[in-house]
Amino acid sequence: MPSRRDTFKMAGLGASALALGGAGRGGQHSGHHAHSESVPHKGRTYSPGKAGDDYRPVITPDGSTLSYKLVDGVKVFHLTAEEVEHEFSPGLKALCWGYNGQVHGPTIEAVEGDKVRVYVTNNLIAPTTIHWHGIILNSGMDGVGGLNQRAIMPGETFIYEWTFVQHGTFMYHSHHDEMTQMALGLMGMIVVHPRKRTEPAPDRDFVMMLGTWALRPGARRPDPNEMSDFNVLTINAKSYPGTAPLVVKMGERVRIRIGNLSAMDHHPIHLHGYAFEEIATDGGVIPKSARRPETTVLVPTGSTRTIEFVAHNPGDWAMHCHMTHHVMTQMGHDVPNMIGVDPQALNRRISPLLPHYMTMGQDGMGEMGKHIESGHMQVPENSLPMVGAQGPHDYITMGGMFTILKVRKGLTSYDDPGWYDDPDGMARLATQAELSRDGIDPSVKAMPHSSSGHMSHDKPKSNMKHEH
Amino acid sequence: MTLKHLWLGGAFLLVSCVSVPKDAGFSEFDAMLAPMLPAPAQWVGETISEQEASDRISALLSDPLTEASVAEITMLANRDLRAVLYGLKEARGNYVDDASLPNPFITALFVDEPSETSADCFGNLTRFDTPIGGQIGVGIEILDILFFPKTLKAAKAEFTAAKYSSLRHFADHSYQARLKFYEAMAAKQILGLAEQSYEAMAANAEVAQALFDAGNIAEVDLAQEKLFEAQMKSELIKAERGFEMAKSHLIKTMGLSPEKSDSVKLEGRLRTPDITELEALPVQSVMDRNLELKHREALIDAAGIRMGMKDVMSFVGDVELEGEVERHDGAYEYSGGIGFELPIFNFGQGKREAARARMEMMGQQYIARQYALDTNAHLLYTNLSAARREILHQRKQVLPLSQQVLKGMQLDYNAMHIGVFDLLNAKRNQLATGIAYVQAVEDYWKTRAAYEYLLAGGTPDIDASSHLNPSVGGASEEGDH
Ligand SMILES: [Cu+2]
């Protein structure tokens, strides 16, 4: 049965046909496809886009942007696939596969209409290819090993060529033995700026690649055979506290392009302190009319999501995957649930057998990182505590796919400004005076109120802002 | 009718010309035992009084047992060993007996009435009749005298054989006690490790109980952990039983009385073997010192001498000399004679053949034992080298790795990569490695005891010395001791 859309198509009124006007549809120009064009491409050539003139370069926290040289109006890039010793966070390194000495590979940045040539040298022990995920190009350049080309053998250099006929956020990754090669890190981001700006350019344009790894504590190479139990969750191949913060000046327009090439996971990325709009996917720009405010954007694996907001709310704002096991690091998932047991009794029972034993997890996992950092509990060489790092006020019991958006007034550089000292006060211990003022007796169990409501509303709402 | 059998003993009134030590050669015995025993050999009731022996045993038992104290206690307490010594004494008695000439046979006869002369043939050589007076006759078997030097030699060889047999029994008891000591010590250590293993699983079950009480696991999970504990308990019971059995065997081998056996103390661990390179197997010395071979040599010597005698005797039969003094009508008459067996029906062929066959048999058995000893010596040497390598391997590889695994598991636990159940199980695995090591040490010591016993002249039963090689032994038959 034809869908409503098909019916439109048959009537010559497909979705793209409706987009002919281009403006007002998030930069979508062409009438024949869903990808985003800001200028016509058929029969047209454009001079190579210039940073500063044609675009404001993106920032890849903990990563870099791939340089190119211009040869006869063509941007020439060179990627070398190779083994790289990569640090996920201080204390945890692994032998990964990356490009140009880094994991993940550098971000390829270009402008719509740019003609590019990408040389790919294979310095791995295995054949490989690169697929340009989301890029509209001819089939022969698509990089699927066996389907579109033969694999690039170790020591060989292949050449890929195309012209960007779209703008947006895309990715590249190995498309040969993906299970192995992507698990070891062979991936990177591609950003194509529009040739003609149809929306305000962001002041800060961040690029993030989400990834998952299986790395046993103490091991030195990620395990590509793992199918479900990933224990190192990364943003740009870094695990908190290894992730660099996103530093933004008050009032700046912030764009965050998030790609996900995790083996088996989607990531709902949640940003604190803001509502944002999801403005594009790797398919193209989302029409303004279709955008909606969000606090969490789900980034399915094999796709990109671009969000945007204006940084009007100063502070240190957590940004993280909301899957709770994705803000953990290197925890075993078969450990017994110890919540609620008496640790002293077990310690007494077990320490004669195992002098270094200490019951853990009886009140959760939060204390664990602290124990390790304080040095009284040793963990395997080359491993990260399951959660956390010391924060300004206490231990931050989050790890993995976690970073911090730092919005400040009056910044003169984008270096890490340190912890935010909130002038508007923060949560603290309630004083006795406050407790009695508001009639709170902590010894009386708080009860859910009935629907008829018997809570007193006569007390004025207190503003705690000036109390510190 | 009076028959007067008068045996003329001639001029011989013989006394034994051998000198047998009063202690039945015990001092010599002691000297031969010295390389096999940690303390001077004692003979309760002869070299040491019953009371002294009992006091000494009590003193030794007041401390935990050692290889040396076990050997000494065995020597002092074991009634079978005393029996061996009495056997030695018996052999000495037999030797003294054998080493003396047969006494002449004296007959005296008084007659007051003349009698008729009668004569018969065969058996009795001569008869006289006297109307009045008396006769004194002395008779002696002449071959006994002719063969006396040979008899002496044979008796000596037989006594030597008896000595070697006693020595073997004595040394073997000491060796067996040493083996039982190692077994008991190992069983004790294994019991200790089994107790710890049980503790680990008991703790495991307690953790499970705590988790169940907290609502974190289901009843079936708790039951599973309790099952592990119960299974470990079975292992513990087995280890307890193993220890009790090994201890009983030790007590039995030491031959302790029921009152004394209560104070047996087994503490500490098997000595850590000093792992020095083994010197080459001194095959010739093993052959030369072997008590079983010596025992057999002495038996063959004795049998050979006796066979030589038999050859002649069976051919000649009995030869008797006799002399007679007769008083007849107030006058003395002297007469003498010789009697011998006439080999016309039985030429002694059968006896000679039997004796030769027996010699042949003993010779073949001797060679068989020699070969078996040689094979066993090499096998023991190989076993000891292997036991030594095994200990080295366990010490250099297995134990450190097992430590490392447990330590790593503790780190994994700290990193919350594994849970407490895994950690306790790792502890249990480490203890199992400990048990394997104790078994290796036990095997080493037992093999070493067998080897040392072999070097000192013993014939260890290879099967008993090593539980690791149940199928390679078999060549060591225990002969006729
Ligand atoms: Cu996630």
SS (H, E, C) B315-358: HHCCEEEEEEEEEECCEEEEEEEEEECCCCCCCCHHHHHHHHHH
Å from B245 to nearest chain A CA? 28
Taking the centre of ligand 1 as the mean of its atom positions, its distance from the CA of residue A331, in whole angstroms, is: 15
Average pLDDT, integer, range A138-154: 97
- Taking CA–CA distances from A338, the nearest residue in chain B reads B211
- pLDDT single digits (tens) B9-53: 332 333 334 455 555 566 777 777 777 777 777 888 888 899 999
- Determine the Cα–Cα distance for residues B394 and B400; give it in Å rounded to an integer: 8
**DSSP 8-state assignment for residue B395:** I
Mean per-residue pLDDT of chain B: 82
Identify all chain B residues contacting A335, using CB atoms and an 8 Å cutoff.
Answer: 416-419
pLDDT at residue B397, rounded to an integer: 95
- Determine the Cα–Cα distance for residues B344 and A114; give it in Å rounded to an integer: 137
b/e for B314-343, b at 16 or more Cβ within 10 A? Answer: beeeebbbbbbbbebeeeeeeeeeebebee
- β-pair partners for B135: B109, B326
Nearest to B417 among A332, A337, A342 (CB): A332
Å from A102 to nearest chain B CA? 28
Nearest to A332 among B206, B216, B418 (CB): B418
Higher-scoring residue by pLDDT: B461, A71? A71
B373 and B290 in contact (C-beta within 8 Å)?
Answer: yes
Q: What ipTM was reported for this prediction? A: 0.81
Å from B402 to nearest chain A CA? 14
Please judge whether B416 and A386 are an interchain contact, meaning their C-beta atoms are less than 8 angstroms apart.
yes
b/e for A436-454, b at 16 or more Cβ within 10 A? Answer: eeeeeeeeeeeeeeeeeee
Which residues have CB under 8 Å from B312's CB, separation 6+?
Answer: B143, B147
Closest C-alpha to A118, from A126, A129, A127: A129
Which residue, among B207, B211, B416, B429, would best test binding to A if mutated, counting the most A CBs under 10 Å from its CB? B416
Average pLDDT, integer, range A137-165: 97
Lowest mean pLDDT among A178-182, B114-118, B239-243: B114-118
Closest C-alpha to A311, from A258, A243, A246: A246
- Taking CA–CA distances from A386, the nearest residue in chain B reads B415
- Determine the Cα–Cα distance for residues B284 and A286; give it in Å rounded to an integer: 99
Taking the centre of ligand 1 as the mean of its atom positions, its distance from the CA of residue A72, in whole angstroms, is: 43
Å from B268 to nearest chain A CA? 19
pLDDT at residue B476, rounded to an integer: 37
- β-pair partners for A321: A269
Given the structure tokens 């390679």, which residue do they identify? B472
Nearest to B210 among A217, A346, A368 (CB): A346
Å from A93 to nearest chain B CA? 16
Å from B449 to nearest chain A CA? 35
Higher-scoring residue by pLDDT: B87, B433? B433
pLDDT of residue B481 exceeding 50: no
Å from B206 to nearest chain A CA? 8
Identify all chain A residues contacting B418, using CB atoms and an 8 Å cutoff.
Answer: 332, 334-335
A166 and A135 in contact (C-beta within 8 Å)?
Answer: yes
pLDDT at residue B317, rounded to an integer: 66
pLDDT at residue B139, rounded to an integer: 78
Higher-scoring residue by pLDDT: A389, A126? A126
**DSSP 8-state assignment for residue B280:** P
- Determine the Cα–Cα distance for residues B157 and A221; give it in Å rounded to an integer: 79
> How many C-beta atoms lie closer than 10 Å to residue B41's C-beta?
22
Identify all chain A residues contacting B421, using CB atoms and an 8 Å cutoff.
Answer: 336
pLDDT at residue A5, rounded to an integer: 42
Please judge whether B421 and A336 are an interchain contact, meaning their C-beta atoms are less than 8 angstroms apart.
yes
Identify all chain B residues contacting A377, using CB atoms and an 8 Å cutoff.
Answer: 414
Å from B409 to nearest chain A CA? 9
pLDDT at residue A136, rounded to an integer: 96
- Determine the Cα–Cα distance for residues B372 and B378; give it in Å rounded to an integer: 10
Please judge whether B419 and A350 are an interchain contact, meaning their C-beta atoms are less than 8 angstroms apart.
no
Confidence tier at B111 by pLDDT (50, 70, 90)? low
CA distances from A360 to A230, A368, B90 (A): 22, 7, 76
3-state class (DSSP) for residue A361: coil
Higher-scoring residue by pLDDT: A192, A459? A192
pLDDT of residue A261 exceeding 70: yes
Nearest to B415 among A338, A354, A383 (CB): A383
Identify all chain B residues contacting A342, using CB atoms and an 8 Å cutoff.
Answer: 210
B353 and B36 in contact (C-beta within 8 Å)?
Answer: no
- Determine the Cα–Cα distance for residues A172 and A150; give it in Å rounded to an integer: 17
Taking the centre of ligand 1 as the mean of its atom positions, its distance from the CA of residue A181, in whole angstroms, is: 20
Higher-scoring residue by pLDDT: B358, A463? B358
Identify all chain B residues contacting A359, using CB atoms and an 8 Å cutoff.
Answer: 420
- β-pair partners for B328: B133, B331
pLDDT at residue A71, rounded to an integer: 97
pLDDT of residue A41 exceeding 60: yes
CA distances from B69 to B37, B178, B454, B477 (A): 11, 10, 21, 29
pLDDT of residue B57 exceeding 90: yes
pLDDT at residue B25, rounded to an integer: 63
Domains in chain B: ranges and CATH: 3-469 (1.20.1600.10)
Taking the centre of ligand 1 as the mean of its atom positions, its distance from the CA of residue A386, in whole angstroms, is: 15
Identify all chain A residues contacting B420, using CB atoms and an 8 Å cutoff.
Answer: 336, 338, 346, 350, 357, 359
Identify all chain A residues contacting B200, using CB atoms and an 8 Å cutoff.
Answer: 353
Taking the centre of ligand 1 as the mean of its atom positions, its distance from the CA of residue A288, in whole angstroms, is: 27
Query: Per this entry, what is the length of chain B?
Result: 481
Please judge whether A349 and B203 are an interchain contact, meaning their C-beta atoms are less than 8 angstroms apart.
yes
Please judge whether A217 and B412 are an interchain contact, meaning their C-beta atoms are less than 8 angstroms apart.
yes
pLDDT at residue B169, rounded to an integer: 86
A105 and A99 in contact (C-beta within 8 Å)?
Answer: yes
pLDDT at residue B10, rounded to an integer: 31
Identify all chain B residues contacting A338, using CB atoms and an 8 Å cutoff.
Answer: 211, 214, 216, 419-420
Which residue, among A328, A354, A357, A381, would best test binding to B if mutated, counting the most B CBs under 10 Å from its CB? A354
Confidence tier at B102 by pLDDT (50, 70, 90)? confident
- Determine the Cα–Cα distance for residues A268 and B104; give it in Å rounded to an integer: 124
Å from A101 to nearest chain B CA? 30
Lowest mean pLDDT among A133-137, A432-436, B146-150: B146-150
Query: Per this entry, what is the length of chain A?
Result: 468
Please judge whether B216 and A338 are an interchain contact, meaning their C-beta atoms are less than 8 angstroms apart.
yes
pLDDT at residue B346, rounded to an integer: 73
Å from B405 to nearest chain A CA? 12
- pLDDT single digits (tens) B133-149: 677 888 777 777 777 88
Please judge whether A335 and B211 are an interchain contact, meaning their C-beta atoms are less than 8 angstroms apart.
no
Structure tokens at A129: 């290819």
b/e for B384-406, b at 16 or more Cβ within 10 A? Answer: bebbbebbeebbeebbeebeeeb
Give burial (CB, 10 Å; 0-12/13-18/19+) of B350.
Answer: exposed
pLDDT at residue A451, rounded to an integer: 57
pLDDT of residue A14 exceeding 70: no
pLDDT at residue B148, rounded to an integer: 82
Q: Please give the share of chain A, as a percent, with pLDDT higher than 90.
A: 75
pLDDT at residue B475, rounded to an integer: 36
- Determine the Cα–Cα distance for residues B431 and B408; give it in Å rounded to an integer: 15
Lowest mean pLDDT among A288-292, B207-211, B265-269, B353-357: B353-357
B373 and B459 in contact (C-beta within 8 Å)?
Answer: yes
Structure tokens at A409: 């007034």
- Determine the Cα–Cα distance for residues B94 and B88; give it in Å rounded to an integer: 10
Taking the centre of ligand 1 as the mean of its atom positions, its distance from the CA of residue A250, in whole angstroms, is: 28
Which residues have CB under 8 Å from B110's CB, separation 6+?
Answer: B133, B134
pLDDT at residue A381, rounded to an integer: 87
pLDDT at residue B2, rounded to an integer: 33
How many degrees, rounded to 5, is the angle at CA A370 between CA A365 and CA A372?
Answer: 95
- Determine the Cα–Cα distance for residues B25 and A112; give it in Å rounded to an integer: 115
Closest C-alpha to B67, from B449, B337, B380, B382: B449
Average pLDDT, integer, range A231-249: 96
Confidence tier at A128 by pLDDT (50, 70, 90)? very high
H or E segment and range at residue A173: strand A168-174
pLDDT at residue B21, rounded to an integer: 57
Assign 3-state DSSP to chain A and report helix, strand, coil percentages, each to 5: 10, 30, 55
Identify all chain B residues contacting A337, using CB atoms and an 8 Å cutoff.
Answer: 211, 216-217
Average pLDDT, integer, range A94-98: 97
pLDDT at residue B116, rounded to an integer: 47
Identify all chain B residues contacting A217, using CB atoms and an 8 Å cutoff.
Answer: 411-412, 415, 417
Lowest mean pLDDT among A178-192, A318-332, B153-167: B153-167
Identify all chain A residues contacting B408, using CB atoms and an 8 Å cutoff.
Answer: 218, 380
Please judge whether B411 and A354 are an interchain contact, meaning their C-beta atoms are less than 8 angstroms apart.
no
Average pLDDT, integer, range A36-65: 94
Higher-scoring residue by pLDDT: B222, A369? B222
3-state class (DSSP) for residue A235: strand
pLDDT at residue B191, rounded to an integer: 97
CA distances from B429 to B192, B200, B407, B410 (A): 15, 10, 12, 13
A402-408 sheet: strands from edge to edge: A246-249, A402-408, A315-321, A267-271, A296-299
- Taking CA–CA distances from B415, the nearest residue in chain A reads A379
Structure tokens at B348: 């002694």
Nearest to A341 among B199, B211, B416 (CB): B211
Nearest to A353 among B200, B419, B421 (CB): B200
- Taking CA–CA distances from B417, the nearest residue in chain A reads A332
- Taking CA–CA distances from A369, the nearest residue in chain B reads B415
Higher-scoring residue by pLDDT: A343, A107? A107
Helix (H) and strand (E) counts in chain A: 6, 23
Which residue, among A230, A232, A325, A335, would best test binding to B if mutated, counting the most B CBs under 10 Å from its CB? A335
